[in-house]
Amino acid sequence: DAVAAREELLADPANPLLDRATGESYAPGSSFKPVVTAASLDSGFAGPEDTFPDPIELDLPGSTATISNADGEVCNDGVSVTMRDGFRKSCNTTFAQMAMDMGSDTVTAQAEAFGFNQNIPFDWEPLESSYPNPGDDLAALAQSAIGQRDVQAVPLQMALVASGIANQGQIMEPHLVARVVDADGDVNEEVEPVVWMRALSPASAAIISDLMEQVVASGTGTAATVPGFRVAGKTGTDEAPEGGAPDVWFIGFAPVENPNIALAVVVEDGGDAGQSASGGSVAAPIAQRVLATWLERGT
């Protein structure tokens, strides 16, 4: 009966009744890098062709900790790497250094411009996505810049990051339904689009859109490719505890020239892939299926 079915769902360790889109938060990993890129572009700190050191391992000031890239290798030639290539290959050392050079306040202000540390206006109140200001702790800043440390995001927040870039820098208030119709198909109520905030300039949004398109064309997100359409995206893989499996991400939008869909995909504990999972191998293919279904409906 219904009571027994409910009890079964409540006892399920997978917790299927949990609203993960707004009620559960995760470390965003490298899906947070577009936020750091926006901070760099909007502050005038650096652009896509500016270069950064390319160590195999980045020493963090005041700490014994280091930051390495996912494959444990240099990002480019071991000497220098452009922001463009660092973004396409999702190089941790590049973005950690970039954030330390910019400073905590610049990165924090940009995160908050995307909606972190704020209540998202929605049909019900989502969990607040958190980006604690690391202050003078450069090691914490470097780790936060790659979506680790104490950074936490609900999937809706990361979908808003993607949509803000797709929408020339403006984030709209999200809502669950576009319109309410009666039994005759007549519209009784229609939600009017409302701008929530401007996250970044149109010029910066255009640059990041191009960088995200390159991620899907030839970077870490090629599994999100939809033939015949221009797709932009960014992968993310959080750092799992020893012996654990990472939560993995893909955020993106399409078609790049006139976006009409933005999304965030997160797979807890790497899904079936477990410890070997990455955003590119697990989350990107799911995004591809959603994007392909949506885009091909309109053709």
**Rounded Cα distance, 233 and 163, in Å:** 11
Q: Which of 109, 117, 100 has its CA nearest to residue 53?
A: 100
**Rounded Cα distance, 161 and 38, in Å:** 10
End-to-end CA distance of the chain: 44
**Rounded Cα distance, 234 and 148, in Å:** 16
In the block, residue with structure tokens 């202050």: 135
Q: Which of 270, 289, 268, 290 has its CA nearest to residue 281?
A: 270
**From 30, 31, 40, 209, the catalytic residue:** 30
DSSP 18: S
30 is an active site residue: yes
**Rounded Cα distance, 155 and 152, in Å:** 10
Name beta bridge partners: 153. 26
In the block, residue with structure tokens 């999702």: 90
Q: Which residues are catalytic?
A: 30
